[in-house]
Structures are given as C-alpha cells and as structure tokens.
Amino acid sequence: MKNITFTMIKPYAVECGNIGTILDIIITHNFKIRAMKYTRLSRSQAEKFYSVHKDRPFFNDLVEFMSSGPIVAAILEKENAVNDYRELIGSTDPAQAAEGTIRKLYGYSVQKNAVHGSDSDENAIIESNFFFPTFERY
C-alpha cells in the first residue's frame, strides 16, 4: 500500500543551489510528488513545526536556522514512504550517513543536514497538514 512522507529541503541546501539535484534523487527513487512549495518559515512556524524538540539544547539554533531563508516543502508518496525516505536521506549527522544518501552528499553539519524527513506515518500526516491544504495536493 502506498503512503506518504513529508520532506523539506532546508535553507542551506537551497542557498547552495541543491534544490534540483535533491529533487532529482527523490524522483529517481520512485517517490511521487503529491504537493510541493517554495516558501519560508516564520520563526513561530519553525517553533511549532519542531515543538517536539523544544526542550533540547539545539532548539533555538534550529528554529533560527530553519527560518533563516527559503525552503522547499513537499509531500512524497511511495510504498513504505516513511522508512524508504529515511533510508534515502541517511543519518541525522551527515558524517555518520551512508554513502550515496542525500545527507551524505549534500549535508554540511548536523544542523544543516540538507533535508527533513518524517519519522512516522502519524507525523507524516501532521507535517503534511501543517503545510498543505487538500486543494494543493494532486
């Protein structure tokens, strides 16, 4: 059964000109784009999106970074979308990520790790709803 995951191309990867190549990897690996937008998070939107991490020491820096410039947000559909996408992006720390993964190829640091990927089906739905109304999904 096909299901969805949610991704963002983070500000530093956008700034470095890596939108096209990251989308190409995603599409080549058979993820279907159901929704996509080029946008920028406000500080309060970034705080809300990452609220699960609000007590972590990196929270303020993360919010600052994620609202520092434009991002690409997208809903991706595939069989086993959440797990397959986590495998395609690699570990949170690009230095630990497997060869060929998006974070290994385009991550710069733990914070500037190129992309976000949902960690569960439940969060994929919550995160997709955060960005996309039904009429922006195809």
53 is catalytic: no
Residues that bind Mg ion (CB under 5 A): 119
| Amino acid present at 128 | S
Rank residues 98 and 136 by Cβ distance to Mg ion and give the closer one: 98
In angstroms, what is the minimal distance from the CB of 51 to ligand ADP? 11
The listed partner (ligand ADP, Mg ion, none) that binds 116, CB under 5 to 8 Å by sort, is ligand ADP
The listed partner (ligand ADP, Mg ion, none) that binds 104, CB under 5 to 8 Å by sort, is none
- The b-or-e profile of 57-66 (16+ CB within 10 A means b, else e) is eebeebbebb
In angstroms, what is the minimal distance from the CB of 135 to Mg ion? 28
In the set 84, 97, 116, 131, the catalytic residue is: 116
Residue appearing with tokens 């089906």? 121
Number of Cα atoms under 13 Å in the Cβ half of residue 93: 2
In angstroms, what is the minimal distance from the CB of 138 to Mg ion? 26
Residues that bind ligand ADP (CB under 6 A): 53, 58, 62, 92, 110-111, 113, 116, 119
Rounded to the nearest 5°, which phi and psi values hold at 4? Answer: -115, 155
Catalytic positions: 116
